Amino acid sequence: MNIVVIIKQTPDTETVIRLAPDNKRIVTSDIKWIINPYDEFAIEAALRLKEKHGGTVTVISFGAQRVVEALRTALAMGADDAVLIDDPQMRDADFLRVTRALVAAAKEKNPDIIFIGSRTVDYDQGQRGAILAEMLGWPHFALAISMESDGKDITIERPIEGGKVTLKAPLPVLVTFGGSHAVWNPRYASLPGIMKAKKKPLAVKKLTDLGLDPADFSPDKARIRITSLELPPQRKAGKIIDGGLDTSGKARELVKLLREEARVI
Amino acid sequence: MAKNVCIITEYRNGDFRRVTHEVASEGRRIADALGTGLVAVALGSGISAKAPDLGKYGVDKVYVVDDPALEYYLAGVFVPVIAEVLKQLDPAAVLLPASVDGRDLGARLGARMNVTLLQDVIEVVVGDDGKIKAKWPMFSGKCFAWCEWADGVPPLLSIRPNIMQTQLLDESRKAEIEAASAPIPKPRASVLKYELDTSGKVELTEAEIIVSGGRGMKDAANYAMLEDLAGQLGAAVGASRAAVDSGWRPHSDQVGQTGKVVNPNLYIAVGISGAIQHLAGMGYSKYIVAVNKDADAPIFTKADYGIIEDLFTFVPALTEEVKKLKNS
Ligand SMILES: Cc1cc2nc3c(=O)[nH]c(=O)nc-3n(C[C@H](O)[C@H](O)[C@H](O)COP(=O)(O)OP(=O)(O)OC[C@H]3O[C@@H](n4cnc5c(N)ncnc54)[C@H](O)[C@@H]3O)c2cc1C
Ligand SMILES: Nc1ncnc2c1ncn2[C@@H]1O[C@H](COP(=O)(O)O)[C@@H](O)[C@H]1O
């Protein structure tokens, strides 16, 4: 079974976001980069599927050279090979075009199944999976919190507001992974894994290598653009309810404030 | 005639979900700014009877596809049908809920129609030139981005639940109804099970009040205390990652950067230290209360009201006081 996992390198979730002077970008110079946590869940699910049914796991990403590190980590976790799309022409490409390049790279691997995180913790758009599937003409299942496959069909569970849906379809299917660390518990790269990863194939491709026309990716062809970034209003520390009150006195005072000052209860 | 603004509804269990009314109200506001009408595309099984009610929230006309095959949302069915109807309507902008299904539908629809979806929008402005700009939270709300679409690209946006004000225009206003014609494809995927929690539990992303517990709760059983308080307040119960990782609460309760991003009026954090990933998920709450025995816990730097107490004595006292208030 050819399993493809699409990953993205994102800033560590610890990152405090600062804006560049033009208010159009964030400051990235001192950022620690990680694999998008949801993409890690996708890698974990792919490795489990491979352990059960055999096959290969290819990880694909788009981004600058620093993304090699994320791909090597995925290889160290147990993936077999990796592809990085690195083309300066794509730097300001919008969601649809980034995804088009990812689709082209994925197709080269003749995938039976594609896994991807349900959203990235940087842009938080939660679009990649559905767009990829649409471009491939495949069905997709989004936000999986469980995944079973016998190599022919796939069954997943997906949470909805106040409930859960169980879905089944024949392959090929694209699955986006939701849930949280407690659900997928992605493995760490072992030391032998890290050693082996150094020798695993990692191809770097440009748009033309994927049969795409770089002209289609020029910034003026963007269908959507970010005009400015802003930081949320700083929340300030409010009052500590004390005033020498005992426990029930504080509780009474809090209820009073929530009722009369905040008017939320 | 100027092109209309269009919304896509979400219908479940015999009614429109509340977020549909929020989206309609925002759609009405945008349509008024553009000086055009507001139409809706509504898919569902048995949806025709309810569709005129959307008029109350400002919808002028509803294009309905009512079919038993549309009982449950499946991308493979809903996307082609809606895309076909939208092609005929050629709207100025399309709004849909950023609910679980809406996000899924919007992304796929955007790709199919080659317009770019902006997901999880929390604010929309219409310029004097009629240009629409929209804002969405990146990094789970650590930063906001304003976006605009290229000329000639009709904006497609999903609206975050619980953010936009619902405007009930007129209780007796009815929307005009028209049956839309679009072939309904046979899906490749099938729904094996559809389970809804009927306990009346409030969904975190749609809750007005959330009571959330962290590692300080020490044990799964102690959450009964929070359930009690939540019951009194009509609140949903959330959790930090530490509590979920410990197996005390289901993953669906996790609030934060790798959990749910919530925006209630009131968030009560109990035994939660306030790690940056947790703050990212709940920092957008209108009011934050923190209960923690450690005066140096970072959560106090964000809380409107802080209580430095042992949660095991404070929470029951608080529940008592809320009870008194409700009975008075
Ligand atoms: C990639 C990644 C993603 C993450 N995503 C999330 C996420 O989505 N959501 C999330 O929450 N975290 C997330 N985290 C984890 C986050 O960094 C913190 O570890 C976590 O939020 C801590 O949970 P906590 O506040 O419950 O526990 P702690 O930090 O251990 O805090 C417990 C608090 O309880 C207080 N306390 C203890 N006993 C009592 C008592 N009897 N009375 C009163 N107070 C008491 C303590 O003073 C302390 O402040 C993520 C981490 C990573 C690396
Ligand atoms: N390596 C990558 N893989 C996937 N998407 C990427 C990558 N780099 C950038 N992106 C962009 O990040 C956006 C947000 O991701 P998401 O929140 O999953 O929709 C995507 O739609 C892409 O435009």
CATH class in words for B5-179: alpha beta
Average pLDDT of the segment spanning A146-173: 96
One domain for residues A148 and A185: yes
Contact B136, B120 (CB under 8 A): yes
Kindly state if the Cβ of B281 falls inside 6 Å of ligand 1: yes
Q: Residues with Cβ < 8 Å from A59, sequence gap 6 or more?
A: A4, A5, A6, A7, A43, A71, A74, A75, A79, A81, A82, A83
Kindly state if the Cβ of B277 falls inside 6 Å of ligand 1: yes
* Domain count along chain A: 2
One domain for residues A174 and A242: no
Kindly state if the Cβ of A62 falls inside 6 Å of ligand 2: yes
One domain for residues A137 and A250: no
Here the CATH number for the domain that contains residue A71 is 3.40.50.620
Contact A224 B116 (CB under 8 A): yes
The alpha carbon of B240 and the centre of ligand 1 are apart by a number of angstroms equal to: 6
User: For the segment B117-154, what is each residue's pLDDT rounded down to a tens digit?
Assistant: 999 999 999 999 999 999 999 998 899 999 999 999 99
Q: Which of A98, A135, A205, A224 to mutate to test the pocket of ligand 2 (most atoms within 8 A of CB)?
A: A98
| One-letter identity of residue B199 | S
The alpha helices in chain B, defined as continuous H runs, are 18-34, 75-89, 100-112, 223-233, 241-245, 276-282, 311-327
Nearest residue in chain B measured CA to CA from A140 = B75
pLDDT class of B201 with cuts at 50, 70, 90: confident
Tokens of A198: 């150094």
Q: Which residues pair with residue A156 across a beta bridge?
A: A147, A167
One domain for residues A65 and A147: yes
Tokens of A6: 């699409």
Using DSSP, state whether B320 is helix, strand or coil.
Answer: helix
Q: Which residues pair with residue B196 across a beta bridge?
A: A163
For residue A241, give its domain range: 235-265
Contact A131, A116 (CB under 8 A): no
One domain for residues A182 and A257: no
Kindly state if the Cβ of A100 falls inside 6 Å of ligand 2: no
pLDDT at B264: 97
B260, exposed or middle or buried, with CB in 10 Å at 0-12, 13-18, 19+? buried
Percent of all residues in chain B with a pLDDT value above 90, rounded to a whole number: 93
Contact B301 A155 (CB under 8 A): no
Collect all residues of chain B within an 8 Å Cβ-Cβ radius of residue A19: 143
Predicted model pTM: 0.94
Asked if the domains at B5-179 and B204-327 fall in one CATH topology, the answer is yes
> What 8-state DSSP symbol labels residue B297?
-
Angle at B141 between CA B139 and CA B146, to 5 degrees: 90
Check the CA dihedral A99-A147-A164-B12 and report its sign.
positive
One domain for residues A188 and A245: no
Nearest to A251 among B118, B206, B317 (CB): B317
Contact A223 B150 (CB under 8 A): yes
Separation CA B138–CA B141 (nearest Å)? 5
Nearest residue in chain A measured CA to CA from B156 = A224
Confirm whether A151 is domain-assigned: yes
Residue B244 at interface with chain A, using a CB cutoff of 8 Å: yes
Confirm whether A241 is domain-assigned: yes
The alpha carbon of A209 and the centre of ligand 2 are apart by a number of angstroms equal to: 20
One domain for residues A41 and A123: yes
Confirm whether A228 is domain-assigned: no
Confirm whether A56 is domain-assigned: yes
Tokens of A146: 């469980």
Distance from A188 to chain B by nearest Cα, in Å?
Answer: 16
DSSP letters for A116-178: EES--TTT----HHHHHHHHHT--EEEEESEEEE-SSEEEEEEEETTEEEEEEEESPEEEEE-
One domain for residues A89 and A188: yes
Interface of A with B in 22-81 (CB under 8 A): 26, 37-38
The domain ranges of chain B are 5-179, 204-327
Confirm whether A26 is domain-assigned: yes
pLDDT class of B235 with cuts at 50, 70, 90: very high
Q: Residues with Cβ < 8 Å from B199, sequence gap 6 or more?
A: none
One domain for residues A262 and A158: no
User: For the segment A98-138, what is each residue's pLDDT rounded down to a tens digit?
Assistant: 999 999 999 999 999 999 999 999 999 999 999 999 999 99
Confirm whether A230 is domain-assigned: no
Contact B287, A261 (CB under 8 A): no
pLDDT at A89: 87
How many residues can be counted in chain A? 265
Confirm whether A193 is domain-assigned: yes
Kindly state if the Cβ of B260 falls inside 6 Å of ligand 1: no
User: For the segment B238-256, what is each residue's pLDDT rounded down to a tens digit?
Assistant: 999 999 999 999 999 999 9
Q: What is the CATH number of domain B204-327?
A: 3.40.50.1220
